[in-house]
Structure 1
Amino acid sequence: METSIVQKYNVPGPRYTSYPTVPYWDNNGFSTLNWQQTFLKAFAESNLPGGISLYIHLPFCESMCTFCGCNKRVTRRHEVETAYITAVLTEWAMYCDLLPQHPLIKELHLGGGTPTFFSPENLEVLINGIFDRAVKAPGYEFSFEGHPNNTTRAHLQKLYDIGFRRVSFGVQDYNEKVQKSINRVQSFHNVAKVTFWAKEIGYTSISHDLVFGLPFQTLESIIDTIEKTKSLNPDRLAFYSYAHVPWIKGSGQRGFNENDLPQDNKKRMLYEVGKKILAEKGFKEIGMDHFALETDSMYDAYKDGKLHRNFMGYSASKTQLMIGLGVSSISDSWYSFAQNEKTLEEYYNRIENNELPVFRGHLLNEEDLIIRKHILNLMCRFKTSWTVNEEYFNELPDVLIDLKEMEKDGLLELKKNSITVTEEGKPFVRNICMAFDLRLKRKAPDTKLFSMTI
């Protein structure tokens, strides 16, 4: 890949877990009452046909990883677990009180932070509390993020016993120098141990999260990391680009010199070499930065055109309504987004006052809904089309003009009523989506908002 192409398209851009992206939400036109109305509309349309999704944010970590951009609270005081679980279950009760019947839970994901900061017993209390007022949908999928250093066999067994079959372990990189620079030191032995425990217990989908573009990473360290990863034979892989956003995350992402980060073509080469090795080892590329073996349900979803993307990342099944519980969580009714308070103190305060802890959101207009479909198609299937009026929007001709340069560079194929991303264009899918992002085009940010696309 030519350096000029990488440098040409390596610009700040969203990751498109939503459209509109959070910085472009119209908070002035949003209210908690609006959110409740669209929440109930989505529930009526989605609960009985297939169920809803539930994301629970567990923010506590025992130490700060300096590559991390998530909302977290660093502490070693495990007595915080009980109060937090109580608050989350209170929030859940508020939602259930709005509903005419028990919800069917199709997908449930525990994210963080570090979900395995919580004891197995407390995680069981949390999940059982959820299902005091909910029912597991047919074919449900429960998943959680596990830290290899503190995930015990008891964690894995307890969560398996209450329905979890998918686990994702954060690996990042096995090189000791890289690990020390991001304050995430964990041995290959620890990752192997939890992976084999999960296999023995019966988990049907085990994922490892890798990151490229970290400080001090080299081709040698990426190759070594992927070779070690393949030896453990996970079912899925996320191979993320490191998002360097210290202007958002403050000191957390300034634990190293920015000159230590691989840039532009050097960074992209880490991905291209890694991707090539993964392909040789049987991993298929599905969506942006994700790979799966042909035996995994995520690959089936991609192959069948059913892959979905939301604030939890990629999903093998689409649910219209996703409720986010816990501090900073984001909910999605398809018609609107709603985000919870971002600090624990404010979150607890709202819960204690018997209020849904939503502090901002966005109601999608007709144009937003059309653009959202196109961006989801590109992110999940690497193609989109406009063969019916419901897929057309007034500024589409201008979007196609903007995409001509990318077509000339071989990143996509333009036809009369469709776009297909080429193999060469897959690393630039965020850039292609940006051509559809009318809100971004109409008001370019005057401060730093997004990480670099490459």
Structure 2
Amino acid sequence: MTISLVQKYNVPGPRYTSYPTVPYWDDSLFSAAAWRDTYIRSFNESNTAEGISLYIHLPFCESLCTFCGCHKRITKRHDVEHPYIKAVLKEWFLYCDSFPETPNIREIHLGGGTPTFFSPENLEMLINGIFSRAKRADNYEFSFEGHPNNTTHAHLVTLYNLGFRRVSFGVQDYSPEVQKAIHREQPFHNVAKVTFWAKEIGYTSISHDLVFGLPFQKLEDVIDTIEKTKSLAPHRLAFYSYAHVPWIKGNGQRGFKDEDVPKDRNKRQLYEVGKMILEKNGFHEIGMDHFAVENDSMYEAFQKGKLHRNFMGYTSSQTQLMIGLGVSSISDSWYAFAQNEKTLEDYYARLDKEELPVFKGHILTPEDLIIRRHILNLMCQFQTDWDTTVPFPEKENIIIQLQEMENDGLLHISEKGIRITEKGKPFVRNICMAFDLRLKRKAPQTQLFSMTI
């Protein structure tokens, strides 16, 4: 990749876990009643055929990782676990009371925060509570995020016995200097231990999350981290770009100076070298920032054109309806998005009133649904066809805007659609931005997004 292309296209841009992106949601048409109408519609269209997904946000962490952009509550008090699980189950039961039939659950993902902050017994109470009002779909897939420092053998056994077969361990980087800067000090031994435990117990998909562009991170750090990761042979990897957004996350990302963070050419080199090593060792690039071996379900989904992306990230199975439970969670009915209250206090207060704790959202317009489909195609398959959606007036303007990217060798434009080239894959966010009509019509006055490269 040439320096000039990085300099040209490295601009702030969304990661497109949704379209419209959260800063461009229109609250004026959103209401609790409108949200209910859309999720009931989606439930009726999809529950029997494919089932629904649950994302459950477990927000507690014992310490603050300064690279993290997630909603979390820092505490060492574990007496917060039981009240929180009671609240999440109450929220779930409110949804179940409105469903016309028993929900058929295809996917569950436990995210955080730190899901393994919770004891195995309390996680078992949570999952059993969910299934007191639901049943498992065929080919269900349950996954959770595990912190290598506090995931116990009992955590892994308990969740395995509850049907979980996929676990993702947060690694980030093995450099002591980087770990100290991001306040996430965990030795390789801890990661190896939980990875081997998971394999022995029978987990069929083990993932490691790595991050490039962290403060003080050097090329040799990335190489060393990937070499150590190879030795543990996970089935898939997330190789994320660190999103340096201290203006959003406040003091959490102020533990180091801006000049300590790799930028532009230096940052991109970390990814390119890492990608080269991964591909030499049997990992295939899947979507954006993800890699998988050939026998992993994510690789198979990518090959079959069934890879999906939502607020849980990339998933190997697609469900039309995803319900987000817990503080700050986002739900997706395909026709609308809804986000829960962001503070525990407000979340608990809404549930005390027997109300779903959503506080904002967006009802997708017909135009939104068209653009969403194109952006999903590009993010998941690196291509989109014009005939997958109905025509829309701005199509010709989008093609004109993309022609410069075609001249730069990033994509091919044809009468059928758009194909992103190998050279263009690092710029997929920029390509999607050409379709983002809401972003074009109202350019942000302040910086909202991380850099694209």
TM normalised by structure 2 equals 1.00
In the alignment, the residues of structure 1 paired with residue 129 and residue 441 of structure 2 have an alpha-carbon distance, to the nearest angstrom, of: 45
| Alignment map for 1:249-264 (pairs within 5 Å) | 249-264=249-264
Shift of 1:340: 0.2
Corresponding pairs, count: 453
In the alignment, the residues of structure 2 paired with residue 392 and residue 165 of structure 1 have an alpha-carbon distance, to the nearest angstrom, of: 41
Aligned AA (2:77): R
Shift of 1:101: 1.1
Please tell me whether the aligned partners of residues 46 and 52 of structure 1 are also in contact (alpha carbons under 8 angstroms): yes
In the alignment, the residues of structure 1 paired with residue 246 and residue 46 of structure 2 have an alpha-carbon distance, to the nearest angstrom, of: 39
Return 5+ residue gaps in structure 1 as ranges: none
Shift of 1:417: 2.5
In the alignment, the residues of structure 2 paired with residue 218 and residue 428 of structure 1 have an alpha-carbon distance, to the nearest angstrom, of: 22
Instruction: Report the counterpart of residue 365 of structure 1 in structure 2.
Output: 365
Shift of 1:194: 0.1
Instruction: Report the counterpart of residue 185 of structure 2 in structure 1.
Output: 185
In the alignment, the residues of structure 2 paired with residue 400 and residue 342 of structure 1 have an alpha-carbon distance, to the nearest angstrom, of: 39
Are 2:416 and 1:417 aligned?
A: yes
In the alignment, the residues of structure 1 paired with residue 385 and residue 101 of structure 2 have an alpha-carbon distance, to the nearest angstrom, of: 37
Shift of 1:4: 1.0
Instruction: Report the counterpart of residue 119 of structure 2 in structure 1.
Output: 119
Instruction: Report the counterpart of residue 387 of structure 1 in structure 2.
Output: 387
Aligned alpha-carbon RMSD (Å): 0.6
In the alignment, the residues of structure 1 paired with residue 370 and residue 391 of structure 2 have an alpha-carbon distance, to the nearest angstrom, of: 7
Please tell me whether the aligned partners of residues 385 and 391 of structure 1 are also in contact (alpha carbons under 8 angstroms): no
In the alignment, the residues of structure 1 paired with residue 392 and residue 343 of structure 2 have an alpha-carbon distance, to the nearest angstrom, of: 38
In the alignment, the residues of structure 2 paired with residue 417 and residue 296 of structure 1 have an alpha-carbon distance, to the nearest angstrom, of: 31
Query: Over residues 169-211 of structure 1, what are the superposed CA-to-partner deviations in whole Å (9 max), with x where a residue is unaligned?
Result: 0000000000000000000000000000000000000000000
| Alignment map for 1:208-247 (pairs within 5 Å) | 208-247=208-247
Instruction: Report the counterpart of residue 172 of structure 2 in structure 1.
Output: 172
Instruction: Report the counterpart of residue 432 of structure 1 in structure 2.
Output: 431
Shift of 1:50: 1.1
Please tell me whether the aligned partners of residues 174 and 225 of structure 1 are also in contact (alpha carbons under 8 angstroms): yes
Instruction: Report the counterpart of residue 197 of structure 1 in structure 2.
Output: 197
In the alignment, the residues of structure 2 paired with residue 119 and residue 433 of structure 1 have an alpha-carbon distance, to the nearest angstrom, of: 41
In the alignment, the residues of structure 1 paired with residue 51 and residue 197 of structure 2 have an alpha-carbon distance, to the nearest angstrom, of: 30
Instruction: Report the counterpart of residue 48 of structure 2 in structure 1.
Output: 48
Instruction: Report the counterpart of residue 268 of structure 2 in structure 1.
Output: 268
In the alignment, the residues of structure 2 paired with residue 102 and residue 226 of structure 1 have an alpha-carbon distance, to the nearest angstrom, of: 44
In the alignment, the residues of structure 1 paired with residue 281 and residue 322 of structure 2 have an alpha-carbon distance, to the nearest angstrom, of: 34
Shift of 1:387: 2.4
Which aligned segments of 4 or more residues in structure 1 are displaced greater than 2 angstroms? none
Instruction: Report the counterpart of residue 130 of structure 2 in structure 1.
Output: 130
Instruction: Report the counterpart of residue 90 of structure 1 in structure 2.
Output: 90
Please tell me whether the aligned partners of residues 412 and 420 of structure 1 are also in contact (alpha carbons under 8 angstroms): yes
Instruction: Report the counterpart of residue 143 of structure 1 in structure 2.
Output: 143
In the alignment, the residues of structure 2 paired with residue 186 and residue 19 of structure 1 have an alpha-carbon distance, to the nearest angstrom, of: 36
Are 2:302 and 1:302 aligned?
A: yes
Shift of 1:100: 1.4
- State percent identity of aligned pairs: 73
Aligned AA (1:378): L
Shift of 1:28: 1.1
In the alignment, the residues of structure 1 paired with residue 392 and residue 227 of structure 2 have an alpha-carbon distance, to the nearest angstrom, of: 46
Instruction: Report the counterpart of residue 57 of structure 2 in structure 1.
Output: 57
Query: Over residues 92-137 of structure 1, what are the superposed CA-to-partner deviations in whole Å (9 max), with x where a residue is unaligned?
Result: 0000000111100000000000000000000000000000000000
In the alignment, the residues of structure 2 paired with residue 161 and residue 118 of structure 1 have an alpha-carbon distance, to the nearest angstrom, of: 17
Instruction: Report the counterpart of residue 446 of structure 2 in structure 1.
Output: 447
What secondary structure is seen at the aligned counterpart in 2 of 1:387?
Answer: helix
Return 5+ residue gaps in structure 2 as ranges: none
Query: Over residues 333-366 of structure 1, what are the superposed CA-to-partner deviations in whole Å (9 max), with x where a residue is unaligned?
Result: 0000000000111000001111100000000000
In the alignment, the residues of structure 2 paired with residue 46 and residue 149 of structure 1 have an alpha-carbon distance, to the nearest angstrom, of: 39
In the alignment, the residues of structure 1 paired with residue 172 and residue 257 of structure 2 have an alpha-carbon distance, to the nearest angstrom, of: 19
Shift of 1:2: 1.2
Aligned AA (1:424): K
Aligned AA (2:365): N
Instruction: Report the counterpart of residue 30 of structure 1 in structure 2.
Output: 30
Instruction: Report the counterpart of residue 317 of structure 1 in structure 2.
Output: 317
